[in-house]
Structure 1
Amino acid sequence: MPLYYDDVVWAYGSSEGLLVYPVSGQEYCALDIALGNSQLVPFTTKGRIIRRVRLNHGVLVFEWAEQEAFHQLNEGEGVHRHFASAFDVWTDKGEYDTLPDLAASKPGDAAEGERSKPQRWHFALRAEWKIHYLGLPLATSDRFYSAHNGTHYALYVWQPNRSPWGEDSPLERLTVWDIGNPRRAGSCVPVAPVEPDMIRSITNEHLAPSGLRQSDTPSLRSLALDSETRDPHTGQSTGHLFFLTEEHRWAAGFQSGLPPPRFHSVRTTGIPLQGDGPVWVNECSGNTANPACRGDAFAVEEEHAWPGWAPCWRHEDFPYLTVAQVVDRAAGVRFSARQCFTMDVVSVNRGPEQGTASSVSRADAREGTKGADDDGALQREVRFSDGTWGRIMAKGQIAGDERWLIGETSGRVLTVLYF
């Protein structure tokens, strides 16, 4: 059972409602899904290999490598220099203030006229920098994980031991950059890109005291940052960086530790973004989600959606593994994609409602399944038709909100399901 998938080269920003994806001509396009408007992003892929794209906190980041190898590692592998380009993304509020209720509007009415009003998004290069001092091979065995928010960017790199005698440990490095402050809303004055400041760099032996060193069997799945990592009064870097590690009984090779866990284990380890301090550890192990665990699927409250909580929703329906999910907390809607060997399920859940199991109507039963938890909170699940998995889950990642769900096919075709 795969725990890791190839990175996607598209991104969706839930707060912006923008889908950024590659188009022909070595360019990227940004689609405002609600309005149907699209425009080109001022970023070229010429001479570049895109490794990953991510949009959140109003910052669009392209992680890319030079197409030509900088030097040869051996006869079959070359080392490519890797960079990151960070763009501020914003729109003029006066151009479009509210999102109309498209379901309630009819062609020709006022809401429809509002909908057709053009909205233009602005993209300004904030920073572009080299993210690895030497460069990396393009092999999947050389892993790198990253995360960013509005002010900081973090990168962890794990490289296997390539010594023919195997006496060396894998190379590990954690680096954090301060990428500056977001552009002020409404400002269209050109600003020169900044050179990010490296505020932290930790290598092999220095990762061990915090429990972050992966050694020969890396189980790291992703990185995360606090949403705010800038002190508003002093301007200093603050907050935490989190490592999410995961091990599964059925995972094999580099995806599993020694010995493997009995069932499935997820753990979040947090360290201060800068300087020394206490290490935060939150772990959830077993074959079901612990009712007391705060990292559950419907973490509606912001404090419960904090990245420091272990994502116990990953094994909430054991032996199924929840590969990916999208939670629209404001709407109380959650999409999930679960897999168990050759069986796969894509479904949507409505948030818990107070009531009793006996209050389920026949209409509810026809629409989907509905169950009650220990507190009597009702939750309804509707499963999508067979074949949905193949249309959106080839890369193990989905995005969207209550209005649409976005994924990728095995043929590298983006699919948008509208509701």
Structure 2
Amino acid sequence: MSLDALEADEPLCSKAQDKSKAISIADFPEDVFLLLLSDLAAWDVASCQRVCKSWRTAFTKDEYIRVALQRYPHASEVRNLPPGALHFHNSPHTISWQDLLLEIASRYHSLSKGTASSVTKYAMAPLEQLGDWFPVGQWDYHESQPVGRLYYDTVHLSKVSPKPYLFRPTLWTYDDGLLVYAPARCTEAPYFPETLALLDLSTGTKTPIPFSNRGKIIRNIRLKDRTLIVEWAEKDPFHNLNAMEQVNRHFANCFDVRRSDKGSWTVTWRSEWKMHFLGLPPNYHDRFFSTHSSTHYAVYFWQPNRSMYTGDEEMPIESLSVWDISTPSNYAPSSDPSGKYRPPAKEGPYIVSRYSFMDMEFWGVRQHATVSLMSLGIDSETCSLTVRENVGVTGQGYFDPAERLWCAKTTTFPFCGEGPRLYREWDGHLPPYRGHCSMESADVEESERWFLPVMDVVDTKAGVKLSLVETCFSGQSVDNKLVVRLKTGCHESDESESGSEWVTLDDGLTEQVCAMGRITGDERWVVGQNERMEIVVVKF
């Protein structure tokens, strides 16, 4: 063979050697690459971008990122995208797909590991110590507890120590990324703060709420459907109930929470109404519980019978009222005790339905002294009220915690017009009453061995569930503790992700958010309160 022929063969040999080498993923045909990409989690795609230059070029293409994001149709950022934005051949120029990928990858990686990307704390004002907040009293007896008791003693051979079974109420409320609370800030006034604040957790900006607590005692606050309700009482009593007790008038203020065109939030006054025609003594025995939508407000009153001819708790006084709060009004009944300037009927908040104890007996929701009430729900579209109750089944779970059993009952009836009652037993699984926080809980998992549910929070749109449980081991040297668990893929319409398992939040983070037995949040964060009067936001 001539030299020229050998020299001509050299390029052929080198090409054959190059072909025999393993090719990179970035060199895969597009159809094969897309099959691989569809099985990668968002944080895996972000990790692949850091391998080498060729991988970064491949995995940062907008069309490939859109394919990767199709695994997260329930993420809040994906839900807010325009229709068809995730199609492979779509090319909207106003969206930074790389930033969107990194945001979702960071969050869902934290959710899968029980870690946090950041922890933020917000100090609260000590309004209860200053006499500006007097929470509604909690039940000292509830049918969901064994033998109805709400306090128990932890008895060991070496020590006998009482352990409270109730969690104290909290002065903050959360709804869809917005938090209303009393921030701690120093002012020249003898007490602080003078107003509540609305906090946007995504931006950290605060908006003052035009509510002055001068001469007022805050009883409860609740944010729902972009509507804020502040229930309060006058500090000075209005009249005497009897020789021993005095009555303070109770009112509710309604505020609209709206986002402006510039992205900031505004809180504006809507109306005020008198909750109870006589008022309530500021104590822990006269209780009320309420709920609201953007157009209606319902409140239930439970008061001990003070008659000298009956027992204190045998026949309590109960009532239930539903208000229409859709119409704004500048009239404030708290500044007009005589009612001289009261506007005409239905020009402002007005009562739609009022139920006496006999009406509640008819609907089957009267509590008597054996309280089993867990929550109130109001549906403005169907004009119906829903009362949920919870009763512990006798004899269950006494020797084995795995045998715990509760009977959740649901009663729905119309508050406008006439109609039938819908009554359901064994309707879901509710936690036992542990304080007012339990009344905000979603349905919990079925009875689990060695775990006692406290409350659950479900982000139905994202399919993320947050659960606060307490271990219930028994032993001389074993201490039970609170545990926060996370679960993704709980969306009802997505059966493929129903097999996801619980992930436990880090113990250090759990201690920060579970001190008051109340958690809330969604796929982006879990919100709770620690023992230092601080609201803690754990961002995923």
TM-score, with structure 2 as normaliser = 0.55
Checking the alignment, whether the CA contact within 8 Å between 1:175 and 1:198 is kept in structure 2 is yes
Checking the alignment, whether the CA contact within 8 Å between 2:387 and 2:411 is kept in structure 1 is yes
1:145 alignment counterpart: 289
CA–CA distance in structure 1, aligned partners of residues 352 and 272 of structure 2:
16
Among 515, 518, 521, which residue is 1:397 paired with? 518
Matched, 1:174 2:299: no
Deviation string 1:204-246 (CA, Å, 9 cap, x unpaired) is 11211111111111111221112x43xxxxxxxx421111111
Secondary structure of the residue aligned to 1:338 is strand
1:350 alignment counterpart: 488
Q: Structure 2: give runs of 5+ residues left out of the alignment.
A: 1-144, 151-164, 184-191, 332-346, 396-402, 432-440, 473-479
Secondary structure of the residue aligned to 2:298 is strand
Q: 1:169: Cα distance to partner? A: 1.5
CA–CA distance in structure 1, aligned partners of residues 391 and 430 of structure 2:
18
Matched, 1:78 2:228: no
Checking the alignment, whether the CA contact within 8 Å between 1:88 and 1:123 is kept in structure 2 is yes
Equivalent runs, 1:182-193 vs 2, <5 Å? 192=330
Equivalent runs, 1:123-138 vs 2, <5 Å? 123-138=267-282
Larger radius of gyration: 2
Q: 1:57: Cα distance to partner? A: 1.1
Identify the structure with bigger relative contact order (alpha carbons < 8 Å, sequence gap 6+): 2
CA–CA distance in structure 1, aligned partners of residues 274 and 385 of structure 2:
21
Q: 1:311: Cα distance to partner? A: 5.7
**Residues 192 and 135 of structure 1, relative CA distance in 2, 3 Å threshold:** closer
Checking the alignment, whether the CA contact within 8 Å between 2:460 and 2:491 is kept in structure 1 is no
CA–CA distance in structure 1, aligned partners of residues 229 and 210 of structure 2:
12
Matched, 1:418 2:418: no
2:507 alignment counterpart: 386
Structure in which a larger fraction of residues adopt helix: 2
CA–CA distance in structure 2, aligned partners of residues 124 and 394 of structure 1:
33
CA–CA distance in structure 2, aligned partners of residues 340 and 70 of structure 1:
47
Among 434, 444, 453, which residue is 1:313 paired with? 444
Structure in which a larger fraction of residues adopt strand: 1
1:18 alignment counterpart: 178
Among 170, 178, 203, which residue is 1:8 paired with? 170
CA–CA distance in structure 2, aligned partners of residues 311 and 326 of structure 1:
6
1:327 alignment counterpart: 458
Equivalent runs, 1:30-109 vs 2, <5 Å? 30-73=198-241, 77-92=245-260, 94-95=261-262
User: Aligned AA for 1:22?
Assistant: A
CA–CA distance in structure 1, aligned partners of residues 384 and 348 of structure 2:
22
Identity of aligned residues (%): 35
Checking the alignment, whether the CA contact within 8 Å between 1:240 and 1:270 is kept in structure 2 is yes
Secondary structure of the residue aligned to 2:512 is helix
1:199 alignment counterpart: 352
TM-score, with structure 1 as normaliser = 0.70
2:371 alignment counterpart: 218
Q: Structure 1: give runs of 5+ residues left out of the alignment.
A: 96-118, 184-190, 230-237, 252-260, 286-292, 298-309, 355-372
2:416 alignment counterpart: 274
Secondary structure of the residue aligned to 1:284 is coil
CA–CA distance in structure 2, aligned partners of residues 54 and 376 of structure 1:
33
Matched, 1:157 2:340: no
CA–CA distance in structure 2, aligned partners of residues 379 and 319 of structure 1:
20
CA–CA distance in structure 2, aligned partners of residues 390 and 162 of structure 1:
42
**Residues 59 and 377 of structure 1, relative CA distance in 2, 3 Å threshold:** closer
Deviation string 1:155-208 (CA, Å, 9 cap, x unpaired) is 011112233442562100000000015x8xxxxxxx746631101111111211
CA–CA distance in structure 2, aligned partners of residues 387 and 248 of structure 1:
33
User: Aligned AA for 1:87?
Assistant: F
CA–CA distance in structure 1, aligned partners of residues 450 and 391 of structure 2:
14
**Residues 126 and 332 of structure 1, relative CA distance in 2, 3 Å threshold:** same
Checking the alignment, whether the CA contact within 8 Å between 2:442 and 2:456 is kept in structure 1 is no
Root mean square deviation of aligned Cα: 3.1
Secondary structure of the residue aligned to 2:488 is strand
Secondary structure of the residue aligned to 1:209 is helix
Checking the alignment, whether the CA contact within 8 Å between 2:489 and 2:497 is kept in structure 1 is no
Checking the alignment, whether the CA contact within 8 Å between 1:146 and 1:153 is kept in structure 2 is yes
Secondary structure of the residue aligned to 1:321 is strand
Q: 1:262: Cα distance to partner? A: 7.3
CA–CA distance in structure 2, aligned partners of residues 413 and 274 of structure 1:
42
**Residues 388 and 72 of structure 1, relative CA distance in 2, 3 Å threshold:** farther
User: Aligned AA for 1:313?
Assistant: V
Secondary structure of the residue aligned to 2:273 is strand
**Residues 377 and 208 of structure 1, relative CA distance in 2, 3 Å threshold:** same
